[in-house]
Amino acid sequence: MYDTIVIGAGQAGLATAFYLKKIKHNFLILDKGKEVGESWKNRYDSLVLFTPRMYNALPGLTLEGESHGFPTKDEVVKYLKQYVKEFELPIQFLTEVVKMHHQEGIFTVETNQGIFQSKQVIIASGAFQSPRIPSFASNISKDVYQIHSTQYKNPSQLKEGNVLVVGGGNSGAQIAVELSKERETLFAISKKITYLPLVIKKKSIFWWFDKFGILKVNSNSFFGKAIQKKGDPIFGYELKEAL
């Protein structure tokens, strides 16, 4: 019986584990992946984060390199592995939580590796686990090769010819820019894009957000709601230039 089970060994789960370890708590992290950093490892090859190193570091360990610079996804994977090693965080991999129930103060966590029990559970399983594929995708001719951004690695996966990138979040924007360098690329978006600079006066925009308190705005406040309504901006002007 554990005091706490943490589900997920991504940034959220590892940062939580850091603090649990600090107070010598009896806990275990369960993760369905085979190693730490899999969420990042599986993303497209050219992925460079739009958040600078200083804001990707977890508590207790600096992410080496220029603090206002942007890490590649491989750098993040390496860092997360180093983090687990440094703080000797207890993780059981290849263990997928499929069900959980709570009775008389005890959580029973069912996994593909058996049952675990604990007094508390922290769910840190991430927000990007299931790709959303719009229903119209199934009406498109079978001759058109379709791929979701979660399966996209690099342009070599695609057939020859032009390509339509559907969706204007940061993933769509980065993939469209990459493809536009080597083939005719069309871009479909449902609303006007808001662009923000990545860097202002040699400092990451997230540093300015932090200084002006924007990173800590309450999501239920007037300002918080206004930011959410606007949707995610595209960081940097590469897409604007490519268009």
Ligand X SMILES: Cc1cc2nc3c(=O)[nH]c(=O)nc-3n(C[C@H](O)[C@H](O)[C@H](O)COP(=O)(O)OP(=O)(O)OC[C@H]3O[C@@H](n4cnc5c(N)ncnc54)[C@H](O)[C@@H]3O)c2cc1C
Please, is 167 exposed, middle or buried when counting C-beta atoms within 10 Å of its C-beta (0-12, 13-18, 19+)? Answer: middle
The span of 2-10, 153-161, 175-183, 191-199 binding ligand X (CB under 6 A) equals 2-10
- Cβ atoms of residues 165 and 193 within 8 Å: no
- Cβ atoms of residues 43 and 170 within 8 Å: no
CA dihedral over 36, 38, 43, 45, signed as positive or negative: positive
* 10 scored as a contact of ligand X (CB under 6 A): yes
**Between 4 and 39, CB nearer to ligand X:** 39
Residues 91 and 89: their CA atoms lie apart, in Å, by: 6
- Residue where the block lists tokens 């060994």: 9
Which neighbouring-strand residues pair with 188? 166
**Between 184 and 231, CB nearer to ligand X:** 231
Q: Rule CB under 6 A: which of 12-51 touch ligand X?
A: 12-13, 30-33, 38-39, 43, 49-51
Q: Quick one: which of 232, 224, 229, 227 has its CA closest to 167?
A: 232
Binding track, positions 174-213, relative to ligand X; x by CB under 6 A: ----------------------------------------
Q: Rule CB under 6 A: which of 46-85 touch ligand X?
A: 49-51
**Between 11 and 118, CB nearer to ligand X:** 11
- Contact set with ligand X (CB under 6 A): 7-13, 30-33, 38-39, 43, 49-51, 96-97, 124-126, 128-129, 171
